Chain A
Amino acid sequence: MSEGADDRHLLVCQEVTVAFAGLRALNAVSLTLDRAEIVGLIGPNGAGKTTLVNAMSGFAQIDHGSIQLAGTEISALPPERRAQLGLARTFQHGRLFGDLSARENVELGAVAVGCSAREARRRTHALLEEIGLLALAASPASELSHGDQQRVSVARAVVAEPAVLLLDEPAAGLPAESLGDLSSLVQHARSARGTGIVVIDHNVEFVLGLSDRVVVLDHGEVLTEGSPAHVRNHAGVAAAYFGTIGTDEPGALRVPAP
């Protein structure tokens, strides 16, 4: 524990730097997450959003800085230890185990972190019911539609009842009408268990609508952070988006140019 003041935060990233072959994907990025808080992480392509989530979950090693989960330094721990300490994540493309059924994918999320088989089955049943996938529970995950795979992927992370949930593009490729289901699944995890959630998505409106606080990354650094309203009206955010990806990006920030 480096600073006592950080004890009240659930997750603290301090000055996290990640470099790939000399190129700094993240440069001294700091971020905090509290219990029952939803933090949105936005920024243009290549801004370092996924790299930050990878660094937190143990998928990428950090070169400098610290990451603390409930006061415990986790940046040197292997990913499975972080998962057992209560940090769960989803992946950009679902990354389900295609040979396992939908039910097994979700169950695995619970048994892998030490849940008994009976308890895992109970939680899985409840979750699949909540997301309306009970009928498809026995299907191999590879045969589910993209949207169903995304929801199973979120369920697999939620079932572990994690302290921190990292959602990497949960809305990618989902039709607009199912975004509401996804939001309520995420909101429920927050309100029922006080899970702290970090969400990345290309659909900026979706992230702004879901988050309590938004952190904007650009070129591997924090551009600004604050309430969704603050970010919506921040001139630099729009510039970062328009400067790199243009206005045709679906869901890109609808902010008048400065």
Chain B
Amino acid sequence: MTVVGYLVNAISLGALYALIAVSVGLVFGVLRQINLAQGEVITFGAYSLWLMRTLPTWLAIVLCFGVCIAASLLLQVAVFRPLRGASPLTTLIATFGVSYGLEALWLIVFGPSGNTVSMLTNLNLTVVGGTVALRWITLVEIGAAAVLLSGLLYLLFRSSLGMRMRATAEDLRAARLVGVRIGRVVTWAFVLSGASAAVVAVLATVQTPLVTPTFGLNLIIFALVGVVLGGLDHLGRATAGGFIVGFVNSLLGSVLPEQQLVYVTSLTFLFVVIVLMVRPAGLLAPRGANVERV
């Protein structure tokens, strides 16, 4: 039972990081630009849940989606659009700056000590007691990720929008010449990215009710590491990479003795460094893949 508990918890954290990886990967797919400020969309969503704590839970969640999608679109209009055609490095640094600035903003507006969102607290009750506590939120996380990822798969591979998105991701100029309206495709990528961030904001807030200015940053760092691990230029592999990092991280936390838990992060990163030394294009990239694209 203990082993099953460890595994389920690891799958759950993996699922959460997979969702963040998707939200970064969707935008990267069509624009070839990394959005480092995506963590702030999650933080904003989490704070919005705190601001709406007096509203009925369902309404707060719906509005949180609205907030995250709006924030994502705002980033598109205010940062990505003016930098169209700039080098990926420029956008990377610009979004890093935006992220840094927003963190300062959260600090000024909400203070450093954090705000507790007591929402859906029942989900933190244990399903099964014993040596490894298994909480309902763990199962909800896995379920939500499964639903969202299958929905996304359906959208990408069965809908006309998905076809246009995949074509754009592969060859933007050819897609334009075929007649694909790139602007719309990019906007949809930001909408979906914002919606994924909202799912993460809700799940992470239920699991860790204390929302601090670095709430999203702590999540996005691990997810980004996962994205690089899996292979940035392929949404499926990036998502799987996010999952692996969450899975390994959680498993390490479970098996290490308590006094060595501080090493979990270092060991996770060590794992990633070793993987990238052996497979520079990413753990899941096909052999001989072009490293330059990552």
Contact = CB atoms under 8 A, between A and B. Distances in A.
B160 A97 contact: no
B179 interface: yes
B182 A97 contact: no
Contact of A108 (B173, B176, B178, B182): B178
Interface stretch (A75-83, A178-186, A226-234): A75-83
Interface string B168-184: 00110111111111100
B178 A112 contact: yes
A107 interface: yes
A107 B177 contact: no
Contact of A80 (B160, B163, B170, B182): B182
Nearest to A166: B177
Given A80-B180, A83-B177, A112-B179, A100 B164 contact: no
B179 A58 contact: no
A108 B163 contact: yes
B161 to A, nearest CB: 9
A62 to B, nearest CB: 16
Contacts of B182: 80
A160 interface: yes
Nearest to B179: A83
Interface in A61-76: none
Contact of A97 (B174, B179, B181): B174
Contacts of B142: none
A90 B136 CA distance: 54
Contacts of A120: 160
Nearest to B184: A80
B164 A57 contact: no
A152 to B, nearest CB: 12
A117 B160 contact: yes
A79 B164 contact: no
B166 interface: yes
B162 to A, nearest CB: 9
A107 to B, nearest CB: 7
B178 A98 contact: no
Interface of B: 160, 163-164, 166-167, 170-171, 173-182
Interface of A: 57-59, 78-80, 83-84, 88-89, 91, 95, 97-100, 104, 107-109, 111-113, 117, 120, 156, 160
